[in-house]
Amino acid sequence: MTIRLNGDPFDLAKPVSVSVLLEQLAIDARRVAVERNQLVVKKAAYDSTVVTDGDEIEIVNFVGGG
């Protein structure tokens, strides 16, 4: 199945939760915000929100500075 990840096509073998997707991408879930099909996914819903064929996922990293 194919999703759009930050605007680019990305292949997944099967539907996965947002948590699993972040784990597969080696991304620390505590340091990002995730949007699925233009809706922000709350961190509490990462385990229950399933990414399926055709979904558009945007992952934004938090950057600190001074």
**In the structure, what pLDDT confidence band is assigned to residue 11 with cuts at 50, 70 and 90?**
very high
Which pLDDT tens digit goes with each residue over 19-59?
Answer: 999 999 999 999 999 999 999 999 999 999 999 999 999 99
| pTM for the structure as a whole | 0.91
- What's the pLDDT at 66? 63
What is the architecture, at CATH level 2, of domain 2-61? Answer: Roll (3.10)
10-32 burial, b if ≥16 CB within 10 A, otherwise e? bebeeebbbbbbbeeeeeebeeb
For the chain, the structural domain boundaries read: 2-61
